[in-house]
Amino acid sequence: MRTNKERQQLIYRRTRELRCKERRKKQCMFSVCGVALCLMLVIGIGSFMPGVVKQASAGNIDYTMGTASMLGHWDIFVWVC
């Protein structure tokens, strides 16, 4: 049989383990959400860039199509990369 003090120590240890697991789980979720948000932001900005560049080139500036036109009609892909 265990004494009350030993039981209290086991309960305390187990509670600490559960709290650590819960904290790690929350941190992992925040990390995953942050990565997903950054990825959506990069893809979103990349999808708008070809339109912005085309509007900027409407003023007879031809050098703005240089890098993004390397893959032909895949402008969005190039800007995301």
pLDDT digits (tens, 9 = 90+) for 18-72: 999 999 999 999 999 999 999 999 888 888 777 766 766 665 455 545 555 555 5
| Six token digits for residue 19 | 């709290």
pLDDT reported for residue 81: 62
Alpha carbon distance 24, 28 (integer Å): 6
Alpha carbon distance 13, 70 (integer Å): 60
Number of structural domains in the chain: 1
Determine the residue type at 25.
K
Alpha carbon distance 2, 75 (integer Å): 70
Alpha carbon distance 68, 30 (integer Å): 33
| Six token digits for residue 60 | 């007879």
Containing domain of residue 31, as a range?
4-80
Closest CA to 68 of 59, 58, 60, 52: 52
